[in-house]
Chains A and B, each alone.
Chain A
Amino acid sequence: KQEVTQIPAALSVPEGENLVLNCSFTDSAIYNLQWFRQDPGKGLTSLLLIQSSQREQTSGRLNASLDKSSGRSTLYIAASQPGDSATYLCAVRPSGGSNYKLTFGKGTLLTVNP
């Protein structure tokens, strides 16, 4: 059974700092990995989706990397801003079987202090 772990569970940084959020998964047979943002009491907003054949994806100040063989992904946020404060979740889809299913981590709660 796939398990997704995100470390740390919470992170507090000063504004302007570059930071890395970590995601690990136990089964490397994935189709893709996706990073989401969740604001308090809100739904999920997709940030980046990386296919299993890709090593990284970039969108603005965000860069997500994937090392499928080691079961790891990172989300790099450059020049953090208070508006980046949210919970960041990663999720993986399996490459076989019920491959529509997303397995989520519990998320990392990021606070960016002005």
Chain B
Amino acid sequence: DAMVIQNPRYQVTQFGKPVTLSCSQTLNHNVMYWYQQKSSQAPKLLFHYYDKDFNNEADTPDNFQSRRPNTSFCFLDIRSPGLGDAAMYLCATSPDLGAAYEQYFGPGTRLTVT
């Protein structure tokens, strides 16, 4: 089945130690998104890639970066994780950019910072 896959499902990292989260998709969608969802909070869009074009949300901290080496894969890099970065990170894809295109979500990666 075509799907959005996130690895790992659970990640523990130490304060200040760089960490990378992975997302892959078999849907061949043009757009990939990363959301951050803290406990009992609404998911918050960090950035998205439209093909190879990177689009950062204005309030996304510089500590968060992303790479998309090809259509299928997108990575979220946290350069120096703080305790406040502990959250569920959700990857989503859509065929194209715009309200008419539904977003398909992966299972998420829960990040713990010790």
**Chains A and B are bound partners:** yes
A103 to B42, CA, bound (A): 8
Q: Classify the interface of chain B: helix, strand, loop or mixed.
A: loop
Contact of B102 among A42, A46, A101, A107 (CB under 8 A): A46
Q: Is the CB of A102 within 8 A of B103?
A: yes
Task: Assess the B43–A44 pair: CB atoms within 8 A.
Answer: yes
Instruction: Please judge, given known A-B contacts A41-B110, A43-B90, A102-B45, whether A49 and B102 are in contact too, CB under 8 Å.
Output: yes
Minimum CB distance partner of B31 in chain A: A100
Q: Is A70 an interface residue (CB 8 A)?
A: no
A43 touches B42 (CB 8 A): no
Chain B nearest CB, measured from A76 CB (Å): 22
B41 within 8 A of A: yes
Is A72's CB within 8 Å of the partner chain B? Answer: no
Query: Which residues on A sit within 8 Å (CB–CB) of B108?
Result: 41-43
* CB-based contact B107/A99 at 8 Å: no
User: With an 8 A cutoff between CB atoms, is A12 at the interface?
Assistant: no
Residue A80 at the B interface, CB < 8 A? no
Q: Name A's B-contacting residues (CB within 8 A).
A: 4, 9, 31-32, 34, 36, 41-46, 49, 89, 93-95, 99-107
B residues in contact (CB < 8 Å) with A: 6, 31, 40-43, 45, 48, 88, 90, 92, 94, 97-108, 110
27 contacts between A and B (CB under 8 A): A4-B42, A32-B99, A34-B102, A36-B105, A41-B88, A42-B107, A42-B108, A43-B90, A43-B106, A43-B107, A44-B43, A44-B105, A45-B105, A89-B43, A94-B99, A99-B98, A99-B99, A100-B31, A100-B94, A100-B97, A101-B45, A102-B43, A102-B103, A103-B42, A104-B42, A105-B42, A106-B40
